[in-house]
Amino acid sequence: MRYTLFSLAFLTAICFTACDDSKEYGDGLEEKTLISEITLANVENGKLTLAASVDYMDSLIQCKIVPEQPTNRKVSWSSSDENVATVTQDGLVHAVSAGKANIVVTPEIGFGASTFFELTVVPEFIPIADFEFTDDDKKDLYVSEERSLRPTLLPAGHTYSMVTWKSSDESIATVTKEGVVRGVNGGTSTTGKTVTITAISLDRGGYEESFDLKIIPIIYVESLTFGEQEDLLPGESAKLNFTTVPVDATIASLKWSSSNTDVIEVNDQGVVTAKAYGEATITATTTTEVSYTTTVKVPYGLMKYSFDTSLSPWYLKQADGYTSSAEFKAGGAVVKMVPNPSKGNSCRADLVLTSNGSYKDKVYLNVGVYPYLAIKMIRPYGAGKLQGNIKLDTQYGAYLENSGSGNNKYTILDGAETPGSPEVYYYDLQRENAVGNGSNKPFHTFSKTEPEEIKTLQFVMADFKEANGSNTEYTVYWVRTFKTIEDLKAFVENENTNN
């Protein structure tokens, strides 16, 4: 045992002595600088497409290594499927047949960073033949503002999507090879300066297309005054009512925000979009950190339906053998009714928003805020006089049905009807016992403090006859609710002025 311990101690001493004295017996290993990164300069998002046709079979791929001066700069190229494509050690890729293959680049020494791209070989090369620029691409750009250009490349089945860009004057606007354009100089006039932006396809077709872009100088807002804001419907957008000093100030220089983006969103031009019922405070902040606020409401009970191009979400009721159709002209829907032989050739075409909750969204009346429901239309007439009946109907019964049939119980805004002329008819929904008949449908007074869901809301258009030169059509322009009669009159007056 004593000899064994002595031997182990002796060997340990030798080992430590050899490690400590290594520098005395030979030079250390030479330090090697390895390739740490390989990037490919002309491959888009790790993918490349070639065609198995004579003119577009080859592509020379350029690679960049990091660091620039490794011990061994050489790289090795290989293809995962040489039946699809081959590659030389200079990076020349050659398409063989349709399919997919990975082209792999590795350091020649066999270890270190590597990269690859997916090569797709298609039977035929289809060049880019058109750039379809959007309105957003071409709209005016402010100095220091940036925008990513995203034209549609046509035809849809083009082989390459690689595009580069150029500016006709980089002192006015610059554009990166990725299509990010930036305003540089808009001059001193509010009309701005114009520059030409060109897109160039990098396929061998080399198609180019340009558009003119106006660069607008920024004029900073010194002060801002908000006016009264329009109430909005869910889904509706409107520009806020405000004025600035100076009057030609750049609205986008303001920082806009909403206190509740679930209800109201606002963009950099002061345009708000209603998302849901409720209200939100909109704040505009200048570059000098002065803030101005206004409130935008999306209230229950607001209705703003126009029928210049469509009846939707309203529709024509087709029942009991009655049929009708609508065409759109002169700002309204012309409803043509077909005589029903089983009903003595009478005509009927009810205009319906919801019937027993049929509409996909809930419908509300809020007569404490919007008590007046109005419709603009041309009634059917014949022999120089009006004919037929119009009735506002709900699930509780018709408007003022308790005093008669409920037919034609509207109020005429200008006090008199003229056959063949547009008229505005309105209903005062805040009155006591506004709907119902007191018998099979008890009287109903709408709440003046809370919104009330309405499961049926329709205009019954019935009892029109095709006789004695009578027409069997009516034209409807809009249905809206109003806070006051004065608001209704102001709306109609403004409409008449602008038409």
pLDDT at 17 over 70: no
489: three-class secondary structure by DSSP: helix
Q: What is the pLDDT of residue 191?
A: 87
Mean pLDDT of 260-283: 97
Distance in angstroms (rounded) separating the CA atoms of residues 347 and 317: 12
Identify which of 146, 148, 145, 140 has the alpha carbon closest to the alpha carbon of residue 213. Answer: 140
Residue type (1 letter), 66 = V
pLDDT at 181 over 90: yes
Element (H, E) at 11: helix 2-20
Mean pLDDT of the chain: 89
Which has the minimum average pLDDT: 2-16, 209-223, 235-249? Answer: 2-16
Question: pLDDT band at residue 53, thresholds of 50, 70 and 90?
Answer: confident
Residue type (1 letter), 316 = L
pLDDT at 312 over 90: yes
So what's the architecture of 304-498 in CATH? Sandwich (2.60)
pLDDT higher at 353 or 345: 353
Which has the minimum average pLDDT: 152-161, 174-183, 299-308? Answer: 152-161
pLDDT at 263 over 80: yes
pLDDT higher at 468 or 122: 122
Phi, psi of 116 (to 5 degrees): -155, 165
Distances (CA, A) of 164 to 154, 192, 203, 208: 15, 26, 10, 10
List, for residues 313-335, the tens digit of each pLDDT value: 999 998 889 999 999 998 999 99
List, for residues 440-489, the tens digit of each pLDDT value: 788 999 999 999 999 999 999 998 887 655 678 999 999 999 999 999 99
Q: What is the pLDDT of residue 5?
A: 34
Q: What is the pLDDT of residue 404?
A: 66
pLDDT at 202 over 50: yes
For the domain made up of 223-298, give the CATH fold.
Immunoglobulin-like (2.60.40)
% residues pLDDT > 70 (the chain): 92
Residue type (1 letter), 124 = E
pLDDT higher at 444 or 51: 444
CATH 2.60.40.1080 residue ranges for the chain: 37-122, 130-216, 223-298
Distance in angstroms (rounded) separating the CA atoms of residues 229 and 381: 40
Which has the minimum average pLDDT: 104-118, 215-229, 257-271, 450-464? Answer: 104-118
**DSSP assigned state of 340:** B
Mean pLDDT of 151-172: 93
The owner of tokens 């109005």 is 374
pLDDT higher at 227 or 388: 227
pLDDT at 35 over 50: yes
Q: What is the pLDDT of residue 25?
A: 41
Q: What is the pLDDT of residue 80?
A: 96
Burial of 80 (0-12, 13-18, 19+ CB in 10 A): middle
Distance in angstroms (rounded) separating the CA atoms of residues 371 and 428: 6
Of 2.60.40.1080, 3.30.1330.10, 3.10.310.30, 3.40.50.300, the CATH number of 130-216 is 2.60.40.1080
Q: What is the pLDDT of residue 248?
A: 86
List, for residues 390-434, the tens digit of each pLDDT value: 999 999 999 998 766 889 999 999 988 888 899 999 999 999 999
Q: What is the pLDDT of residue 4?
A: 38
pLDDT at 13 over 60: no
Distance in angstroms (rounded) separating the CA atoms of residues 329 and 477: 10
Question: pLDDT band at residue 47, thresholds of 50, 70 and 90?
Answer: confident
Q: What is the pLDDT of residue 15?
A: 34
pLDDT at 21 over 60: no
Describe the chain by its helix, strand, coil percentages, rounded to 5.
10, 40, 50
Distance in angstroms (rounded) separating the CA atoms of residues 62 and 490: 70
Distance in angstroms (rounded) separating the CA atoms of residues 251 and 224: 10
The predicted model scores a pTM of 0.64
Which DSSP string do the residues of 207-254 spell out, in sequence order?
-EEEEEEEEE-----SEEEE-PPPP--TT-EEE--EEEESTT--GGGS
Domain 37-122: top CATH class: mainly beta
Structure tokens at 222: 């010194």
Structure tokens at 234: 């869910």
Say if strands 75-79 and 63-66 run parallel, antiparallel, or are unpaired: unpaired
CATH 2.60.120 residue ranges for the chain: 304-498
Q: Distance between the two ends of the chain, CA-based, in angstroms?
A: 118
